[in-house]
Amino acid sequence: MPMINMESTTLSTVKNVDTELVFWHRPEDMSVVSDFTKDKPEECMPAMKALDEKHPVQVQDIRGQEGRFTLGQNGFQYVHHDILGFDKASDSTHVESVIIPEMEKLVQQITDATRTITFTHRVRCFADDSAMLANNRAPAHIVHSDFTAAGALCHLRSVVQDAEERQRLLEGRVQIINVWRPLKTIERDPLANRLVLPTGWNELGKYAFNPRQKWYYVGGQRPQEAPIFRQFDSQEDQGGMTLPHTAFVDPSSTSGPARESIEIKMFAFM
C-alpha cells in the first residue's frame, strides 16, 4: 500500500479559483428540523432551500503544499495512495472486498486506529436530474458537514448495537473519517475541504458565511490523490470536531467531463 507525501507530486500550474459557495442563512434558533421519513420528504425542501445564500470566495489551490495540512491539526490531509481497480467501482462486490479494506488500512495507518468500521460508501457522478440528487449521487453544492456530534453518536448506536461494546469503544477516542477518491482526473466540480442519510435520524451541519473562512482544494486531482477528512471527533480539543466541505463550480471549467468519485465513510477507534 504505497503512500507518499503529496508535496513530491506537483503540477506546473497552481490555480486559485474565484467562485461562489452556497451557505445557509443563520436560522434564529440555530437549527432546522426536517423529517425525511415521511411519505413526501420533498415537501421539506422549499423551507430548507429558502435558507440558501451564495457568497463569493476564493478557493486556494494547495498543489505542491499539501504537506502543510494534516488530519490532526487541520481536519484534512491529502495522501498519494495507489490502488488498483477503481475502474470497477460500480461493482459493489469489488468495492467491499478490495477497495474498502484498502481504505480502512490507509485510515488505520494515518490515525493509529486499532479498529475501523465502514458504514457506507457511495459512487457519485454529476447530475442536474432531481431523482439523482434525491438519491445522493450528485456532488453536493452546499457547504456542509455530514454529522453533528449528536448525529454521529446516534449513528454509532445503529452501527455498534451492543451497548457494552459501544461504551467500551467510547472510553477511547472515536472519529468519523471520510476517504474521497476521484475515479478519474477532476476537471469539473472539484471538492473543497458531501450527504448520505443513515438509517434513523441524523443531524448534519450547515454553515453560515464568514469572510475569515479559508477554503482549499488540489487542482487537477487524480485518482491516486486521496483527501482524508474528519466528520466527527469525540476529543473536542484535538483539532476540531468536523470539517465543512462542498463541491464548487470552477467558472473556467464548466464544460469538462462530469466528475466521478467514490466516498467511503467509517468509524475509527483509537
Residue-wise pLDDT for 198-237, tens only, equals 344 456 677 888 898 999 999 999 989 999 999 999 987 6
Least confidently predicted of 28-37, 51-60, 75-84, 124-133? 124-133
* pLDDT number for residue 198: 39
d(CA 234, CA 166) in angstroms, rounded, equals 13
Please state the rounded mean pLDDT for residues 30-54.
68
| Averaged pLDDT score across all residues of the chain | 81
Pick 37 or 28 by higher pLDDT: 28
Most confident of 30-34, 105-109, 251-255: 105-109
pLDDT, tens digit, 9 for 90 and up, residues 134-178: 444 556 788 888 888 888 999 999 999 999 999 999 999 999 999
Whether the pLDDT of residue 11 is over 60: the answer is: no
Is 32 a residue whose pLDDT tops 90? no
**pLDDT tens-digit profile of 189-202?**
777 763 333 344 45
State the pLDDT at residue 150. 84
Task: Please give the pLDDT value at position 1.
Answer: 45
Cβ-Cβ contacts under 8 Å for 158 (sequence gap 6 or more): 198, 199, 200
> Kind and range of the H or E element at 78?
strand 76-81
In this predicted structure, the answer to whether residue 75 has a pLDDT above a threshold of 80 is yes
How high is the pLDDT of residue 67?
92
Q: Is the pLDDT of residue 115 over 90?
A: yes
How many percent of the chain have pLDDT more than 90? 41
Neighbouring-strand partners of residue 124: 261
Cβ pair 38, 157 in contact under 8 A: no
Q: What is the pLDDT of residues 79-90, one digit of tens each?
A: 999 887 777 877
Residue 124, Cβ neighbours under 10 Å: how many?
24
pTM to 2 decimals?
0.82
**Amino acid 163: pLDDT:** 94
What span, in angstroms and rounded, lies between the C-alpha atoms of 102 and 100? 5
Q: Which domains does the chain have, with CATH numbers?
A: 66-269 (2.60.120)
Q: At what angle do helices 163-170 and 149-159 cross, to 10 degrees?
A: 140
